[in-house]
């Protein structure tokens, strides 16, 4: 576990190098009310790889997330759980990027939080984040379609409405600017899938430390990489959708705790590697491919 925490802290350090703070404008007390209202509409989800983690750690993690949402400076929790809590926090909660530091209180009754922005800026960023997440979920028809259809809607929403930009490295900034680093857009994809009741995990290329998504679709796990469909034609194709290991480049991946990701061998959606465009018709997606073939992707 300590090795996993080391990895996560190195990722946090990378974020700190590039961003002294997250973008946001100060606003009045209405932002606090908006934040409180929006926070009722999101869940403190967990990367699916950690869904069987100790319930006490999950409760402590949720207390920490709630504190960040509210801008609280202290959280009372069992500090012996901090390794697991940190793992969940930095893997599963996008607003970790607002936290400058976490310190154990002198009496070990909990932790203190230092934020990167002023109180007003913090409230504005949190409110904007929550509202934007809810907006995208509504656009992707959360609650009105099946989980598989929702996964497809989220993926194509991101590939069609965001652009790649390696200078934007936090999810909250990506939501504000509609652009972001490829790994950040994968993290956004995973977070939205989890918010919608699906299963998703962040996974790491063991050779380059680049990151993509592992998401359950139609009962099976596949690799997903929105960047593949943004780089060439800004969301016109589905080259990075539901990939097996071969389509993903025969790369070895691990989860954020360094445990190995099982190789995805299913080739049901292999034809999507040749996709150039698609058309949605009810619960089916008619995909046109570069080899003069077509592929019907059925949603349910």
Taking only the tens place, the pLDDT of each residue in 130-163 is 999 999 999 999 999 999 999 999 999 999 999 9
* pLDDT for the residue numbered 41: 61
Distance of alpha carbon 190 from the chain centroid: 4
Q: Enter the DSSP assignment of 42.
A: -
The CA-based dihedral angle spanning residues 200, 202, 205, 208, taken in that order and rounded to the nearest 10 degrees = 150
Q: Enter the DSSP assignment of 292.
A: S
Q: What is the pTM of this model?
A: 0.87
For residue 254, the SS3 value is: strand
CB neighbour list of residue 79: distance below 8 Å, 6 or more residues apart: 104, 108, 109, 110, 111
Q: What is the mean pLDDT of residues 5-18?
A: 42
Q: At what angle do helices 182-195 and 147-161 cross, to 10 degrees?
A: 150
Cα 190 from Cα 228, distance rounded (Å)? 16
Cα 119 from Cα 243, distance rounded (Å)? 43
């Amino acid at each position: 576990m300590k090795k996993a925490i080391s990895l996560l802290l190195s990722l946090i350090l990378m974020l700190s190098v590039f961003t002294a703070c997250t973008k946001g404008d100060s606003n009045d007390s209405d932002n606090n009310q908006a934040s409180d209202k929006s926070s009722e509409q999101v869940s403190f989800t967990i990367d699916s790889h950690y869904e069987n983690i100790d319930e006490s750690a999950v409760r402590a993690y949720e207390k920490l997330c709630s504190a960040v949402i509210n801008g609280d400076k202290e959280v009372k929790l069992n500090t012996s759980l901090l390794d697991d809590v940190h793992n969940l926090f930095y893997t599963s909660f996008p607003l970790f990027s607002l936290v400058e530091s976490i310190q154990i209180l002198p009496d070990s009754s909990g932790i203190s939080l230092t934020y990167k922005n002023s109180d007003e800026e913090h409230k504005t960023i949190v409110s904007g984040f929550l509202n934007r997440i809810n907006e995208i979920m509504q656009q992707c028809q959360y609650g009105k379609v099946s989980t598989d259809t929702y996964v497809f809607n989220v993926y194509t929403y991101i590939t069609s409405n965001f652009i790649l930009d390696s200078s934007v490295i936090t999810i909250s900034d990506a939501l504000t600017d509609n652009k972001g680093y490829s790994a950040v857009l994968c993290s956004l994809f995973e977070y939205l899938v989890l918010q919608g009741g699906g299963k998703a995990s962040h996974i790491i290329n063991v050779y380059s430390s680049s990151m993509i998504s592992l998401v359950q679709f139609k009962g099976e796990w596949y690799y997903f990489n929105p960047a593949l469909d943004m780089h060439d034609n800004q969301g016109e194709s589905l080259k990075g959708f539901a990939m097996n290991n071969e389509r993903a480049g025969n790369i070895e991946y691990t989860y954020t705790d360094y445990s190995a990701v099982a190789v995805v061998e299913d080739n049901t959606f292999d034809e999507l590697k040749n996709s150039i465009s698609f058309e949605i018709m009810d619960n089916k997606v008619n995909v046109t491919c570069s080899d003069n073939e077509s592929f019907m992707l059925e949603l349910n």
